[in-house]
Amino acid sequence: MPLGDTAVIRSRRVVLPDGERPADVLVQEGRIARIAAYGSLPDDGTRLTELGSTALLPGLVDTHVHVNEPGRTAWEGFATATRAAAAGGVTTVVDMPLNSVPPTTTLAGLEAKRKAAEGRAWVDVGFWGGAVPGNLADLEPLYRAGVFGFKSFLAPSGVDEFPHLEADGLEAALAEQARLGAPAIVHAEDPAVLAAAPQQPGVHYRDFLASRPAGAETAAVARLLEAARRTGARVHVLHVSSATVLPLLRRARTEGVEVTAETCPHYLTLAAEQVPDGGTAFKCCPPIRDEANREALWTALAAGEFAAVVSDHSPSTPDLKLLPAHGGSGDFAAAWGGIASLQLGLPAVWTEARRRGHTLADVVGWMSAGPARLAGLDGRKGAIEVGRDADLVAFDPDGGFAVRAAELHHRNPVTPYAGRTLTGVVRTTWLRGRVVDVAGDPFGAQLVRPGSAASAP
């Protein structure tokens, strides 16, 4: 269906901002034009898609994706990442500023990203900038050019070209972001705590877990909150793995600090107890912790303490994962830290959420509305609401499938979900009213921050 066409999508389970109900959704010129009672819109030559009991969700917004192109396209790239996104019900991806070369820490870096994404995006793509030592003067031009905010690290990032901020640098970067009004999104692990932890290489996950203790997260978050309090910056804690940081966030909020947090599908659905020896597909930083911690994350999620659940899709080639199945050593200390899950986040979370009595509306709140708000895209994305982009997903909440890594659209066939059976199948994905065909031509757009100099009126 070309843009400009009119279509009706009808489902007994349309997930709207106020909950789920049968409805007809009228799509015109790529936007949601009307939401009407089920069966009420006339079939007067308008294209009708009848979904029956298959649910209609707003497309997911994944604000934490490492696309890695240009520079490390062998790890992932725009074509592969965005096809995986579309197949997984994700219609907006916001790319992280590192692992690509150059990183998105200068205008030239942003231009390189945009050039790399051109003609290779099956879903809409936006960009975070990066705050690193020495690029304070780059933040304003990047923000004006349309990045959504800035990511920084409090501990080494894993790649040399994206160094972490020390205390002075963090303070200066947060002050500048407060001045700009830009959200500061932060990888919070404390380097001193990590350095003091036992570093025992090998194939045993418990050794890796001991090398990245929960105390590294709490120490870093405490430091971040202090700096946020002093500078007035709006901060967002990325990929919270340890539930021990949640009381710190609660307390800071009651004291008026503007702080939000996210967690990820792997922290909610996997657990340290399940990681096999040499199972480096499970390695990420901060690490997947034990089952008791996972339960505490679910309690916090249910209580509304997380603003978003996003993938932190951060793949690499199988050789860098040192996977035993690919002839690698399985050494957790040396393997690349990052989990590939962009295509699987929705069914992974739904599988576990449903078991715990959560609704599709809950999942949409965590994975679509929440991240859209975080990126400031909630005027356009994140809900089935009149006026928003018709980014939609037909999702069969009762279907199931076994994960086969080689069948995913990710560039490399490595994921800790391999072999698992997940509940929930994405049947169709629409981007601005058009069905996305991952075997056809891409028509994803590049997004800029609303209100930026680069944004259209």
Site of interaction with Zn ion (CB under 5 A): 312
CB atoms within 10 A of CB 409: 18
Query: Between the CA atoms of 293, 296, 301 and 303, what dihedral angle is there, to the nearest 10 degrees?
Result: -170
Q: Which is nearer to Zn ion, 262 or 312 (CB)?
A: 312
**Contacts of 395 by beta carbon, 8 Å cutoff, 6+ apart:** 54, 55, 56, 57, 89, 346, 360, 424, 425, 426, 427
Q: How far is the CB of 297 from Zn ion (least distance, A)?
A: 17
Q: Which is nearer to Zn ion, 31 or 151 (CB)?
A: 151
Q: How far is the CB of 260 from Zn ion (least distance, A)?
A: 16
Q: How far is the CB of 117 from Zn ion (least distance, A)?
A: 18
Q: How far is the CB of 335 from Zn ion (least distance, A)?
A: 16
Q: How far is the CB of 98 from Zn ion (least distance, A)?
A: 8
Phi, psi dihedral angles at 192 (to 5 degrees):
-70, -40
Q: How far is the CB of 163 from Zn ion (least distance, A)?
A: 16
Closest CA relative to residue 122, chosen from 156, 82, 80: 82
Q: Which is nearer to Zn ion, 62 or 312 (CB)?
A: 312
Q: Which is nearer to Zn ion, 269 or 429 (CB)?
A: 269
Q: Which is nearer to Zn ion, 20 or 312 (CB)?
A: 312
- The DSSP secondary structure of 204-238, one letter per residue, reads -HHHHHHHS-HHHHHHHHHHHHHHHHHH---EEE-
Q: Which is nearer to Zn ion, 128 or 143 (CB)?
A: 128
Q: Which is nearer to Zn ion, 27 or 309 (CB)?
A: 309
Q: Do the strands 392-402 and 421-431 form a parallel or antiparallel pair, or are they unpaired?
A: antiparallel
Quote helix, strand, coil % in the chain, to nearest 5: 30, 20, 45
**Contacts of 201 by beta carbon, 8 Å cutoff, 6+ apart:** 207, 331, 332, 333, 334
Q: Which is nearer to Zn ion, 58 or 315 (CB)?
A: 315
Q: How far is the CB of 4 from Zn ion (least distance, A)?
A: 38
Q: How far is the CB of 68 from Zn ion (least distance, A)?
A: 11
Helix (H) or strand (E) holding 301: helix 291-302
Instruction: Name beta bridge partners: 19.
Output: 16
8 A C-beta contact, residue 296 and residue 243: yes
The residue with its CB nearest to Zn ion is 312
Task: Produce one character per residue of 120-156: b if its CB has 16 or more CB atoms within 10 Å, e if not.
Answer: bbbbbbbbbbbbbbebeebbeebbebbbbbbbbbbbe
CB atoms within 10 A of CB 87: 21
Q: How far is the CB of 197 from Zn ion (least distance, A)?
A: 21
Q: Which is nearer to Zn ion, 187 or 358 (CB)?
A: 187
Terminal CA-to-CA distance of the chain, rounded, Å?
A: 26
Helix (H) or strand (E) holding 398: strand 392-402
SS3 state of residue 286: coil
